[in-house]
Amino acid sequence: MTTGDEPLMGIPDIDAALSPYLPPGCLIVVIGTPGSGSHLLAKQFAQAGVGSTPVFYYTTAERTIDSQDAFRSFHWDPEPIRFGNLSDDYYQRVLEPQLEVSRIRERGLRLDDLRNARRAEVSVGPYSLVNRFLNDLAGLDAPFRLVLDSLDFLLELLEVSEVVNLVRQIRSRTQLLGGKAMVTVQQASLDNKSSAMLEDVADLGITLRSDPNGATFEHTLEVRKLRNHPERTQIRRLTIDDTGFHVAP
């Protein structure tokens, strides 16, 4: 398969409706409501690139092994996908030391806590995580597919403008190398202004919803923005089975 005809998201009807209008390098921003399946869509999108380009899956929402299990539960092989886990990193480098700090503050520092300790030269912060991610990104030199699931956690740590800037860097990389990138975010993490800023960067802006309908939930995918093709905005009802999302008949 060539990069020209690789699936967009792995939902054939939607891919067919949107692919002709998207450039080879593009950024998809998925805004999700709770339970709408944005993590699933992220995986389906990743899976759709397997066999065409190297696929990178960065998660901040779950442990790597849980991600991999989720892939398997939809009969997708996680083996070819390269995982990057920003939340493990965050836990080890930021949260764990923070816990230790509050423990020590609580009980008081003792001389023993100082023995065998080295002077810390640099303090770790959210920037080191973002830098690591940007480093990986800068290391790519051929068409790629990349998922960042999700921005929520970065929004907790950084200014919105910094997060938008990161997304912008992802997009410029996709344009340069012909890559497809998807970033996801929960609607609740965004105010109107920040969702406008994010959608502005996107080539394809999608909102995923899950609304109660009788005894079940109805899943909808809204194509809210397709760059240069406002006439292509649309709303599709989705179903989910053990092979992922499908357009409802």
Q: Which residues bind another protein (CB under 8 A)?
A: 97-98, 100-102, 104-105, 108-111, 113-114, 117-120, 123
Query: Closest separation between CB of residue 119 and another protein, Å?
Result: 5
Amino acid at 156: E
Q: What's phi and psi for 52, nearest 5 deg?
A: -105, -45
Of 2 and 123, CB closest to another protein: 123
Of 33 and 128, CB closest to another protein: 128
* Burial (Cβ within 10 Å: 0-12, 13-18, ≥19) of residue 209: buried
Of 13 and 100, CB closest to another protein: 100
Query: Closest separation between CB of residue 125 and another protein, Å?
Result: 8
Determine contact, residues 29/206, Cβ cutoff 8 Å.
yes
In angstroms, rounded to a whole number, what is the distance separating the alpha carbons of residues 31 and 222?
10
Query: Closest separation between CB of residue 156 and another protein, Å?
Result: 17
Determine contact, residues 182/57, Cβ cutoff 8 Å.
no
* Burial (Cβ within 10 Å: 0-12, 13-18, ≥19) of residue 48: buried
Of 99 and 142, CB closest to another protein: 99
Regarding beta strands 55-59 and 244-247, do their DSSP bridges make them parallel or antiparallel, or are they unpaired?
Answer: unpaired
E strand or H helix at 59, and its extent?
strand 55-59
Query: Closest separation between CB of residue 194 and another protein, Å?
Result: 24
Of 90 and 245, CB closest to another protein: 90
Render the burial of 95-126: b for 16+ CB within 10 Å, e for the rest: eeeeeeeeeeeeeeeeeeeeeeeeeeeeeeeb
- Taken as a whole, the chain contains a residue count of 249
Of 136 and 162, CB closest to another protein: 162
Query: Closest separation between CB of residue 103 and another protein, Å?
Result: 10
Query: Closest separation between CB of residue 162 and another protein, Å?
Result: 16
